[in-house]
Amino acid sequence: MTRDEDAVERARRAVLRRFRWLDGDADTWSVLADPDALAAVVAGLAALVAEDRADLVLGIEARGFVLGPAVALALGVGFVPVRKDGALFPGPLVRHVTDPDYRGRRWTLATRRDLVRPGQRVVLVDDWIETGGQATAAAALVDACGGTLVSVAVVVDEASAAARDALPPIRHLVRAADL
Residue 52 has pLDDT above 90, yes or no: yes
Number of helices followed by number of strands (H, E) in the chain? 6, 9
Closest to 116 in 3D by CA, of 86, 87, 82: 82
Predicted local distance difference test score (pLDDT) of residue 27? 92
Burial degree of 95 (CB within 10 A; 0-12, 13-18, 19+): middle
Q: What is the pLDDT of residues 106-121, one digit of tens each?
A: 999 999 999 999 999 9
- Report the SS3 class of residue 121: strand
Measure the N-to-C terminal CA separation of the chain; round to a whole number of Å: 23
Mean pLDDT over 58-66 rounds to: 96
Mean pLDDT over 141-160 rounds to: 97
3 confidence band (pLDDT: 50, 70, 90): low
In one letter, which amino acid is 112? Answer: R
User: Between residues 25 and 7, which one has the greater pLDDT?
Assistant: 7
Residue spans of the domains in the chain: they are: 52-178
Predicted local distance difference test score (pLDDT) of residue 103? 83
Rg (C-alpha) for the chain, rounded Å, is 15
Mean pLDDT over 140-161 rounds to: 97
* Residues forming beta bridges with residue 82, ordered by sequence position: 60
Burial degree of 84 (CB within 10 A; 0-12, 13-18, 19+): middle
Predicted local distance difference test score (pLDDT) of residue 1? 66
80, 84, 86, 89 alpha-carbon torsion, rounded to 10°: -20
In the CATH hierarchy, which top-level class contains the domain 52-178? alpha beta
